[in-house]
Structure 1
Amino acid sequence: MGRFPLKRLIERFYPLVIAVVAALGAHHLNLRFESDKYSNQLSSTINVSAILMGFLGTAQAMLLTFNSKTFRGIRGNKRLWALLLSYFRWALLASLALCVFSLILFSIDVKRFAEWQFENFKVDTVLMPCWIALSTFAFLTFYRVVKVIFGLLNDPSVGTGQ
């Protein structure tokens, strides 16, 4: 497979692939927001995505202070370092997008979604699948970063300066 082994290719794209599959599944099942759960779902999502962004910022700051032999090697490999930073960037952007999307939905009455229609396209048929896709993508990109961080922390020389 050349420069990108299959494992790294899967690691790079699985959050997006699973998010698209989740959205398609939600659309196929015709999932929609329910009036009685709507506010709580979005409020919880906003809180969780804000917590994820805070953790990601802290984790990135921690990452920059690591001074192990393994970590110096990662920083020395421009491609690997860029990939690692892109994982953080995507996780942060995904959490931010989820938070903003949820804030926008939170400010609109769910009953009005059913009224919005453009020709043969009903807006309420795609809002839940979009929200599920964003949620799935945000959580999986966050998981990917956490997995990488714990992998680096598992290195016995992390923090020893060796």
Structure 2
Amino acid sequence: MGKVRVPVARIWEKFYPVFFALLAAATAWHLDLVFEDTKVTNQLSSTINVSAILMGFLGTAKAMLLSFNSRQYQAIRANKYLWSMLLSYFSQAMLAALSLCIFSLVLFSVDPSKYKGWNVGPYWSIGPVHVSEALLPIWIGLSTFAFLAFFRILRVIFGLLKAS
């Protein structure tokens, strides 16, 4: 049986949210970004609201997707590889928004300054990493991933709507 060749554009489409999320988190880490005490509650509260709205939109978009009946949609649904990839895009976007919401809710509920003595992560040449130093890079990575996964779904949905 022949090997299935996947175009580079499809590979890029599949992994660019993860790539840019890791890049954003690494950049935030490199720049030593931390939450600003006076703005963190508003920032996290807004993030919880936006991620909940994203989850609601994604649920509605998935219901719309299941109701499409165009030829292009039927061809995608008949192709098991494309259909499973499309469903994985939805699940990634939903889980990213849910993870961002839960992470923001935990940060909103806990005072990270009380855990400055907690060391996590690598102990090689840079020394111990404190919990409070890792929170904003993780939040930025999750936010970037959730936004780009949502954007990818928007592009697919609007492409299907345009084609029908």
Give, in whole Å, the separation in 1 of the partners of 2:6 and 2:54: 29
TM-score in terms of structure 2 length: 0.91
C-alpha deviation, 1:3, in angstroms? 1.9
Q: Give the structure 1 partner of residue 25 of structure 2.
A: 23
CA contact (8 A) 1:27 1:126 kept: yes
Q: Map Cα deviations across residues 88-116 of structure 1 (whole Å, 9 max, x no partner).
A: 00000000000000000000114224343
- Structure 2 unaligned runs (5+)? none
Tell me, in whole angstroms, the C-alpha distance in 2 between the residues paired with 1:117 and 1:13.
31
Q: Flag as ranges the 4+ runs of structure 1 deviating above 6 A.
A: none
Please list the CA deviations of residues 22-72 of structure 1 after superposition, one character each: whole Å capped at 9, or x if unmatched. Answer: 000000000001110010010000000000000000000000000001100
Aligned residue for 1:138?
146
Q: Which of 63, 68, 83 pairs up with 2:85?
A: 83
Q: Is 2:74 the counterpart of 1:72?
A: yes
Between the aligned partners of 1:148 and 1:18, the Cα distance in structure 2 is: 19
What runs of 5+ residues in structure 1 fail to find an aligned partner? none
1:153 aligns with 2:138: no
Overall identity of the aligned pairs, in %: 57
Contact kept? 1:94, 1:141, Cα under 8 Å: yes
Residue 98 of structure 2 aligns with which residue?
Answer: 96
Count of paired positions: 156
